[in-house]
Structure 1
Amino acid sequence: MPATRRGGFLDADAFSNRDHIHYALKTTGAAMFCYLLYQQLNWPGIHTCFITCYLVSLGTAAQTVEKLSLRLAGCLAGAVIGTAALVYVVPSLSSVGGLMLLVFAGSWISGWVAQGFARIAYAGFQIAFAFYLCVIQGAGPGFDLTIARDRVIGIMLGNLMVYLVFTRIWPVSIAARIEAALGRLVEQWQQLARARRPDDRRGHATAALALQGDIAQDLILARYEPASVGPAPEWVEDRQRRLRTLRAHDTAQQPVRPAHATEATNATTVAIDAAGPDGPARDALLALIDKRLTASVADAAQAAHPSPIHAQT
């Protein structure tokens, strides 16, 4: 029996892959610069720049710029709400209960944003973070506007440092990940066309749908990268066309309909989950998916080898 590979805290190529090493050096370098800066300036109030570097640093420039943009927008919104609360609400508070109600109101606003559209959900957490930093200054109501100012300046400084480092030093574009994902998507549709077992077809269809969603999100993120790092707009548009083509054609560029699998899986996923792990309803829904996946494979074969009647017409 072959030995199973055991997971670990670090990736297998953590010390051999240059991307991992560069990422660690960039993130640590930006954070240490911020640390030394506020130590030399004797300005500990902007210490939030240090932790900001670790919060917004991600694997590619596109992801990093998107996250720091959301963090900056959320920080500014939370700072405005927190400062307004310090000026107009906190002076009228006389107990910790009033402070708790104020914190609840700010948490409700940030939670509403965080549970909204997925593209801006992270900004909701940053609204809460900045609001808490401004309003919660101790066990009771606080009135020091300097604390709110310094902490917001620290967040903005950390965002600026990460942006400069990740777009100037060893920048990593998301374009390579998109290309690799498109290749895996092609392989999934090829394997779907060759699969004979229903479980295999369902597995390949599910993997293809997940890849399509990931690629679509990465193509949106690619627009966050500056021109010096990211792909040109024409490149993004070309990959979007390729993605649309893969949704409607097989990998041999024949007019098949893998959209049948997409529609079947999307339309019945929720119903399958509601039907429970066992039972006739779940079996019937899985049978429907298998039927449509089989039809898509048959369409592929028909398109690749047209009948003489079709050829004559």
Structure 2
Amino acid sequence: MATQTNAVPGVPKITALGQSFWQLIRKELTPYPGRAWVAGRVTIASTIVMLLVMTFRLPGGFLGAIFTIFLTRENPMATFRAGFRAVAAFLIATGYTIVTAAMLIDDPVTHFLWIVVSLFIAFYLIRILEDYGTAVAFGFMIAGAIPVWDQHALNVNERLESTLWITFSVAVGVAVTIVVEYVFRSVHPITDLTEGIDARLEIVESILRATAEGEPVDPKTQERLQLYSSVGASRLRRLILRSEYSAQFKAQASAAASLVGRLTDIAESFKQSLIERRSRIDPTDAERCRRLADQIAELRKALWLRKLPEDIKMPSHTELSSLNFLSEMERTVAFIPKAFMATESVKSYIPTPLDEIPHERIFVADALSNSGHLQFALRGTLAAMACYVVYTAIDWRGLSTSLATCIITALSTIGSSRQKQILRLGGAILGGVFFGMGAQIFLLPYFDSIAGFTILFAVVTAISAWISTASARLSYLGVQMALAYYLIHLQEFTIQTSLAIARDRVFGVLLGLFSMWLLFDRLWVRNALDEMRDAFTQILEMSAEFAEQLVRRDVTKAILRVRQLRDRINASFITVTTQADAIVFEFGPDRERKLRIRDHFRRWQPSIRTLLQLQITLSQYRVKQTLLEVPEEIARTGTVFEQSIAAMMRAMSSYISEKVPSPVPDLQSSATEFEQAIRTYHQSHGIPLSSEASDIIVLVENIVSVLVPLYDDIRSVFSTNEERVLLSSRVNISNA
């Protein structure tokens, strides 16, 4: 009886977990504007590559097909550059393979060492190259060349020919992807990024207008709002990072995208509160909803016209509303133009030395100084070499697909190990077993032409592409699914019906997944909450240092340091977002509190992004006119203001990292003194307030309006017992 009594309460939990999982899958697979275009481009490009591979009997065709997923970008030019880099990486890897393997092939010991070194280089490049597609291109070439150069039945010329064919297949895939991108963009010139932001703003605007008129929200609008609130803004940020915009504008657009995502989340809560509301809406609140809807409409108009949005006045804290979340929505909308630094002189601002130098970085900034890159490469090399030793020892060469699996699953920013395990295994089962072997058993024996195989290939590719365009929580499943299917059906130049070959390749994928789980995911890996907390505190600490750079006397050194801090802060933003998605896949007794802290971090991140953009704008003025060139009183009060910002940032970091915070100065008072010093100087000299001085005053007021509420929120959250106990326990476990 005791056993039955204990078992009953667990049933609702299992049911609730299953329902939550199903809701997650349903929302992730729901269409959104632009998704069908992306999936269609990938499907058409992959199918064309498949037809070329089958027609002209190109070895290594699965690589050409899988790169159609890797290379899809925000615009054709970005796709062209990514494709060019991928082909260049394959050519470099080919030259490296031909020279080194030919020299070391005769001796088994040196050949084994060549494999170890080559895999280490491949994994190290995945970590330190800025472009992931380029790094994977090099790694795939190594993973494809190792089995070729292990075939002693082939002479050196035949091995060389096979190696060159692999590079050519990828070049074909790249060329097809670029052509398809250009054709699609000519037919559908609107960018996916513009559609994604506009669609979210349109939904919020519709809800506000319906509220102002006292009408119910359209069910379709409610469904779309729920979808966008679920998937978040991670895909928008990926599109921004892959775009051809300058680094400065990428940071601005990322901040705006985060704010739009935050606005969508708040609108979802706003809609729920309207459903539960029983009383009529006050006319004053209806007017505020109408005014906010008009402001969003102006933002959308500026977006379509590619104009800088006009500044929106921050609502007063004393302006209360009977509608829940309305004030928060007003504040979030007011932040969006501030992310783009919408002040008059900034619109016509002449670039300064602080502006981004127009060149692309090949390697990450800490490529040689960060020990984490070496740890990553060692983890990947150990996992891949374990696969190589196993299939070589048992003489099962069909398992060589495990090497390519290790390369493609070595993603350092995909989330926690548990999340990676689920997505990898699910992709292998769906693509390799369900679609791959299932097609061999039930469909392919009845196909007598390439037409049927093409239809089946396009359907599986479309499903994989659709999943790969989901949020970061699920997108990797589509990539892994496509890879598993292509490994089975795009290696030979005929319809593959042999289950033995499919079995070998599926088992090779599973061997690679098991090795990555056993070695790669176990060494030097921490849980997602710790990673998220550390990244967030680093953002606050670097933001404090950023503020301190604005009061340095040496402007040249300050500029260089500001550039470094800006890049590192933006990279940490990505880490926070990634780990926030990963926490969903972690279970245990503390899961509910972890998710609550996760929601806090996600709520605060858009404000931090906005603060960074406001500080960058202020730094532009500081570079233009240094402290030595401004009146002494303005320089003194400006220095006090920036030091107050740094102190408040470090205090927030201390609260989150369980340290005793230092006393925080009154930021509002220091801001008032700074503004008063600027006004007094102009009045005493009888000159009107310049546009630049007005802009600085506006920036200072905006910084205060963002930072003070953020500080109060963080202090109140981490002054409570539950959050402090949870984070303290995590810190103690990590230190132990």
TM-score by length of 1: 0.63
Partner of 1:71: 424
Q: How far apart are the structure 2 equivalents of 1:222 and 1:178? A: 12
Query: Which residue of 285, 289, 294 maps to 2:701?
Result: 294
Q: Which of the residues 178, 190, 203 maps onto 2:533?
A: 178
Q: Give 1:139's aligned residue.
A: 493
Does residue 34 (structure 1) correspond to residue 395 (structure 2)? The answer is no
Greater Cα offset, 152-161 or 176-185: 176-185
CA contact (8 A) 1:49 1:158 kept: yes
In the alignment, which residue of structure 2 is the partner of 1:19? 372
Aligned to 1:102: 456
> 52-61 or 70-79, which moves further after superposition?
52-61
Mapped partners of 1:299, 1:61: distance in 2: 30
Q: Distance in 2 between matches of 1:296 and 1:179?
A: 24
| Alpha-carbon separation, structure 2, partners of 1:302 and 1:43 | 62
Report the more deviating stretch, 68-77 or 18-27.
Answer: 18-27
Q: 2:578 aligns with which of 213, 217, 241?
A: 217
Q: Deviations over 1:234-266 (max 9, x none)?
A: 884575375267468974679x9xxxxxxxxxx
Aligned counterpart, 2:439: 85
Mark the runs of 5 or more structure 1 residues left unpaired by the alignment: 196-202, 257-286, 305-313
| Distance verdict in 2 for CA 1:137–1:223, change over 3 Å | same
Give the superposition deviation at 1:20. 2.5
Shift of 1:217: 3.2
- Offset at 1:102? 2.1
Corresponding residue SS for 1:47: helix
SS of 2:455's partner is helix
Give, in whole Å, the separation in 1 of the partners of 2:509 and 2:394. Answer: 16
Q: Secondary structure at the match of 2:473?
A: helix
Q: 1:293 to 1:103 in 2, by over 3 A?
A: farther
Q: C-alpha displacement at 1:85, in angstroms?
A: 1.5
CA distance, structure 1, for counterparts of residue 365 and residue 573 of structure 2: 26
Q: Spell out, residue by residue over 1:178-206, the C-alpha distance to the aligned partner (whole angstroms, 9 max, x if none).
A: 313333146548978x99xxxxxxx999x
Structure with the greater relative contact order (CA < 8 A, sep ≥ 6): 1 or 2?
1
- Alpha-carbon distance in 1 for matches of 2:408, 2:545: 39
Q: Does 1:45 align with 2:398?
A: yes
Tell me: CA distance 1:130–1:168, structure 2 relative to 1, closer, same or farther (3 Å).
closer
Structure 1 residues 64 and 11, CA, compared in 2 at 3 Å: closer, same or farther? Answer: farther
8 Å CA contact 1:61–1:225 kept in 2: the answer is no
CA separation of 1:57 and 1:178: change in aligned 2, threshold 3 A: farther
Q: CA separation in 1, counterparts of 2:485 and 2:503?
A: 12
Distance 1:173 1:223 in 2: 12
Find the counterpart in structure 2 of residue 113 from structure 1: 467
CA distance 1:6–1:31, change in 2 (3 Å): same
- The alpha carbon displacement at 1:51 in A equals 1.9
* RMSD value, Cα: 4.8
The answer (yes or no) to whether the contact 1:61–1:171 under 8 Å persists in 2 is no
* Aligned residues with identical type, % of pairs: 26
Give the drift of 1:120: 1.0
Cα distance, 1:76 vs structure 2: 0.5
Alpha-carbon distance, 1:34 to partner: 0.6
1:148 has 2:506 as partner: no
Amino acid at match of 2:444: V
Say if 1:7 and 1:213 are closer, same or farther in 2 by CA, change over 3 A.
closer
Structure 2 unpaired stretches of 5+:
1-352, 551-562, 609-647, 653-663, 668-693, 712-736
Check the 8 A contact 2:473/2:582 in 1, yes or no: no
For residue 48 of structure 1, give the secondary structure of its aligned residue in structure 2. helix
For the pair shown, the structure with the greater C-alpha radius of gyration is 2
Provide the C-alpha distance between the structure 2 equivalents of 1:181 and 1:189, rounded to a whole number of angstroms: 13
CA contact under 8 A between 1:91 and 1:143: conserved in structure 2?
yes
1:162 maps to 516
Size of the alignment, in residue pairs? Answer: 261
Using a 3 Å threshold, how does the CA distance of structure 1 residues 237 and 106 change in structure 2: closer, same or farther? closer
Check the 8 A contact 2:531/2:579 in 1, yes or no: no
Does the CA contact (< 8 Å) of 1:95 and 1:140 recur in 2? no
Q: Is the Cα contact below 8 Å between 1:185 and 1:212 reproduced in 2? A: no
Partner Cα distance (2:569, 2:375) in 1: 31
Task: Describe the superposition over 1:108-143 as per-residue Cα deviations: whole angstroms up to 9, x where unpaired.
Answer: 221222223432111112222222223335222221
State the SS of the aligned residue for 1:118: coil
